[in-house]
Amino acid sequence: MTDPNAIQASELDQLPDRDPEETAEWQASLDAVAKAAGPHRAAYLMRRTLERAEGAGIALPKLLETDYVNTIPTAAEPDVPGDEEMEQRITAWNRWNAAAMVTRGSKYGVGGHIATFASAAWLYETGFNHFFKGKEADGSGDQLYIQGHASPGIYARAFLDGRLSEQQLDNFRREAGGNGLPSYPHPRRLPWLWEFPTVSMGLGPLSAIYQARFNRYLTNRGIKDTSASHVWAFLGDGEMDEPESTAALALAAREELDNLTFVINCNLQRLDGPVRANFKIVQELEAQFRGAGWNVIKTLWGTAWDELFRLDTTGALVRRLRQVPDAQIQTYQTRDAAYIRQDFFGADPALAEMAKLLSDDKILECFHLSRGGHEARKVYAAYKAAVEHKGAPTVILAQTVKGHTLGEGFASKNANHQMKKLSVDEFKAMRDLLGLPIKDSDFVDGVVPYGHPGADSPEVRYLQERRAALGGPAPARRVHPVAPLPAPAEKAFASFDKGSGSQNVATTMAFVRLVKDLVRDKETGKRWVPIVPDEARTFGMESLFPSLGIYSPKGQTYEPVDRDQLMYYKEAKNGQILNEGITEAGSMADFIAASTSYATHGEAMIPFYIFYSMFGWQRTADQMWQLGDQLGRGFLVGATAGRTTLTGEGLQHADGHSPVIAATNPAALTYDPAFAYEVAAIVKEGLRRMYGEAAPGEDQDVFYYLTVYNEPLPQPAKPSVPGIDEGIVKGLYRFNTAESAGATVPANAPRIQLLGSGTAIHWALKAQRLLAEEWGVAADVWSATSWSELRRDALEADAAGLRGEERIPFVRQALQGAEGPVLAVSDYMRQVPDQIAQWVEQDWSSLGADGFGLSDTREAARRHFGVDAESIVVAALAQLARRGEVEAASVKEAREKYGL
């Protein structure tokens, strides 16, 4: 009897089959091949059929992995133009000097890495000689993201080129004297050479993707034609484990960024050992990139392997290469021919027969030396295919040996990342291997010499001629002399000085309104780059959608659901807004690309990145450090700021500490404005400082961080207070006095100074009224727009004092003569205002929202943290009581009165 629950296999197939009989014949053919010729033959036929279908454009799921062989066959490799022998000699000098630099520096204990560049030397040299365009090339040249641990090799090439001196090489990792070289690519430390910081691993690949995307953005918006620029990112296979490394692969494929190439140095090792000891990292990466839509080129084996592949008539060699885990390939690198014959070839009878035709020298040449990433011909073929590929980004998976040419003590050893020097004997063996004309007598007192063929040598002339043909030296960072951007019309800023009257306006909305006016400016409006991670409506920015458009290289291929509304969702190829979706990391990468466009492309852009404040510094502070290193300029805006302003959101949304993290970044100018006119004044000053006429000695390479709030409150008119503009910019000014606020207090009343920032100033103003009306205390209220700028100024004054100069910190100048103690309050942890405590001459106390946030109303949250107006009153009375200026009993009375 037939099981009523049984379902025929055909019923499970959701795809209609118009000819089941034909389908059955194909399946039977596969079964027959598998039975007659074995499963390997069946798999081979299926793979080739799928490849043919893919090549013919037949819509099928992609084949995610190919065999463990080179993507480009030897017969299809193009000839390498130029003089390969000359390039070999240049590479030898660079290898030598890179190793010499690190070894010579080891006596100072400053560290350094030798093995990475040794494995990647040809990956760089081939690019420098034939592909990487310099700054004098069309457009902006290429953008090179150099792997951080390979920096000694880049310095060595710059030395050969005459751009660095021997003294500078000797000061590798010793910068304090002023003529040294930074450990890794740090533009802030060596701004004429390095463009992009990369050694915080994972940020290089992420930034490279968004840089390539921003290049297209500039072109599509008509700012600059960057179509001739190509972005190259050099990465380690171990680095690809960082989540940022692969976070934006789909974006690059979705937007068809064929102006981008990843070169992953697959030496199969990370810092402590194999990347995938029991697996195959190349295959894993291939599947990951192919699945994301990238063009994948594998450059695994050198020419010595050609003979082995010709002998492989059964496919046994390819199958065995696919089976052997990475750690075992690393082991072959260190073992003799007998071991390799037994372990590798002995695993299959067909391979054992093949091995009989191979000499020991041939086996060792293949397994010890011959990798695709070590041969100019193989690398050139991959690079040429990459730059010619259209419609998708390319990743090149180049297999190398970590520590190649450094000797048996280095090559493929697990500890080679921590090995900082070679012995004299090891250097002499390396010299002989590389064929360099360095004599034994050049090793004076056991110190390895630097090598240089001479400024007018054939090698140097060739190197310089190749670079000249490609548009000048590389890597290089250039800041082209450009006229400062004209200041926007004063009207845009002055409109905030009159206040909002009876209308309640949050400072987040005030900032957005200001930007709406600024992007309309005829001179600079097009240079604004609004960036938001899918919270534009939260911040009231939806009105910018139809006027500015959201950038999309595809334009808008659909009719938006809200097309009949005034503020409809509009995407455009020339759109100005970068609405990135839910990715703060991607948005920060956008910001970095835009904020450094003045150097990368000679086009000053004004990015502002507005985000949920809790998910800014806490989540992407590493990128903000990268931003400071890369000398970026622009406005970071932490919206919905503060620990108590978000009603109901709670612990993981309530930001009470971002200014603390921001204060750790020397390039960040952090402001916590309370009022709309302060926001306008700070943005105006930021535009002048970063994009206008800089004052003598003023550092333009800074960025601004503004915290703005979502609490709608009346915005007061700008007070007519002497020096208010200076106070807003420097961080502190007196907003009012007890008297100017209309308080009636006795002439000899106790007095206290209340310092508040951001939304907290409203609690201070209420406390000012309560102190006067209910306790007879006069309170003056100060707006502390920037605790960290006050601290920065005070630190500079302290440093000046150590030099014998007389300088009084601004905070002390501002508070000079202010009667009574100081009580500071903010919507952040007390550590934020406490930054300036040591420079305040008056008695100091502070209140803040320390601890985790919680879900409740604003009033309840502020009472919980003890920062509401009533809590300020009690704290003020307690401070005055300690000084004997009010009765101690009044403190208890106030606590009971306010229910604290």
Rounded CA separation 729/405 (Å): 57
**Res 414: pLDDT:** 57
Which pLDDT band holds residue 246 (cuts at 50, 70, 90)? Answer: very high
Residue 125 buriedness (CB in 10 A; 0-12 / 13-18 / 19+): buried
- The pLDDT tens digits of the residues spanning 740-795 come to 998 888 889 999 999 999 999 999 999 999 999 999 999 999 999 999 999 999 99
Which pLDDT band holds residue 8 (cuts at 50, 70, 90)? Answer: very low
Q: Under a CB-based contact definition with an 8 Å cutoff, are residues 195 and 184 in contact?
A: no
- For the segment 638-650, the average pLDDT, to the nearest whole number, is 91
**Res 413: pLDDT:** 57
- For the segment 685-696, the average pLDDT, to the nearest whole number, is 93
H helices present in 519-583, as ranges: 544-548
- The pLDDT tens digits of the residues spanning 312-368 come to 988 999 999 999 999 999 999 889 999 999 999 999 999 999 999 999 999 999 999
Give bridge partners of residue 671 from the DSSP assignment: 706
278 pLDDT higher than 60: yes
Q: CA 632 from chain center: how many Å?
A: 12
- The pLDDT tens digits of the residues spanning 442-497 come to 999 989 999 999 999 999 999 999 999 999 999 999 997 767 899 999 999 999 99
Q: Under a CB-based contact definition with an 8 Å cutoff, are residues 853 and 653 in contact?
A: yes
- The pLDDT tens digits of the residues spanning 819-860 come to 999 999 999 999 999 999 999 999 999 999 999 999 999 999
- The dihedral over CA atoms of 13, 37, 70, 68, expressed in degrees to the nearest 10, equals 70
Instruction: State how beta strands 231-236 and 668-671 pair.
Output: unpaired
Q: Which amino acid is located at 41 in the chain?
A: R
- For the segment 644-658, the average pLDDT, to the nearest whole number, is 91
Rounded CA separation 588/207 (Å): 9
- The pLDDT tens digits of the residues spanning 147-161 come to 999 999 999 999 999
**Res 694: pLDDT:** 83
Q: Give me the half-sphere count of Cα atoms (radius 13 Å) on the Cβ side of residue 286.
A: 23
Using only the alpha carbons of the chain, give its radius of gyration. 33
**Peptide bond just before 475 cis, omega within 30 deg:** yes
534 pLDDT higher than 90: no
DSSP 354: H
Q: Under a CB-based contact definition with an 8 Å cutoff, are residues 126 and 383 in contact?
A: yes
* Tokens found for residue 355: 């091995």
**Res 388: pLDDT:** 98
**Res 114: pLDDT:** 86
Which pLDDT band holds residue 695 (cuts at 50, 70, 90)? Answer: confident
11 pLDDT higher than 70: no
Residue 16 buriedness (CB in 10 A; 0-12 / 13-18 / 19+): exposed
**Res 881: pLDDT:** 97
Backbone phi and psi for residue 256, each to the nearest 5 degrees, phi listed first: 55, 50
**Res 647: pLDDT:** 83
**Res 417: pLDDT:** 57
Report which of 520, 759, 771, 510 is spatially closest to residue 647, judged by C-alpha positions: 759
Which pLDDT band holds residue 564 (cuts at 50, 70, 90)? Answer: confident
Q: Under a CB-based contact definition with an 8 Å cutoff, are residues 262 and 233 in contact?
A: yes
H or E, element range at 70 = none
**Res 62: pLDDT:** 72
Sign, Cα dihedral of 516, 518, 522, 526: negative
Beta strand spans in 737-856 (E)? 751-756, 778-783, 822-825, 844-847
- For the segment 277-292, the average pLDDT, to the nearest whole number, is 96
Q: Under a CB-based contact definition with an 8 Å cutoff, are residues 515 and 726 in contact?
A: no
- The pLDDT tens digits of the residues spanning 413-450 come to 555 555 667 899 999 999 999 999 999 999 999 899 99
646 pLDDT higher than 50: yes
**Res 9: pLDDT:** 47
**Res 744: pLDDT:** 87
- The pLDDT tens digits of the residues spanning 45-80 come to 888 888 888 788 887 777 798 999 999 999 999 999
Rounded CA separation 532/535 (Å): 6
- The pLDDT tens digits of the residues spanning 609-636 come to 999 999 999 999 999 999 999 999 999 9
Report which of 875, 645, 852, 635 is spatially closest to residue 757, judged by C-alpha positions: 645
Rounded CA separation 45/51 (Å): 10
Q: Under a CB-based contact definition with an 8 Å cutoff, are residues 211 and 257 in contact?
A: no
**Res 139: pLDDT:** 85
Number of neighbouring beta carbons within 10 Å of residue 244: 21
- For the segment 271-285, the average pLDDT, to the nearest whole number, is 93
- Which position has the token pair 């900082």? 420
Which pLDDT band holds residue 10 (cuts at 50, 70, 90)? Answer: very low
Q: Which long-range contacts (CB under 8 A, 24 or more apart) does 441-448 make?
A: 447/104, 448/99, 448/100, 448/103, 448/104, 448/422, 448/424
Residues 6+ apart with CB under 8 A from 140: 215, 224, 226, 229, 600, 601, 602
Q: Under a CB-based contact definition with an 8 Å cutoff, are residues 659 and 458 in contact?
A: no
- For the segment 387-399, the average pLDDT, to the nearest whole number, is 98
Residues 6+ apart with CB under 8 A from 224: 139, 140, 218, 601, 602, 603
Rounded CA separation 238/39 (Å): 34
**Res 270: pLDDT:** 87
Rounded CA separation 28/749 (Å): 101
**Res 746: pLDDT:** 86
* Tokens found for residue 471: 């548009």
- The pLDDT tens digits of the residues spanning 725-737 come to 999 999 999 999 9
7 pLDDT higher than 60: no
What's the first-to-final CA gap in the chain, in angstroms?
80
Number of neighbouring beta carbons within 10 Å of residue 865: 22
Round the average pLDDT of the chain to a whole number and report it.
93
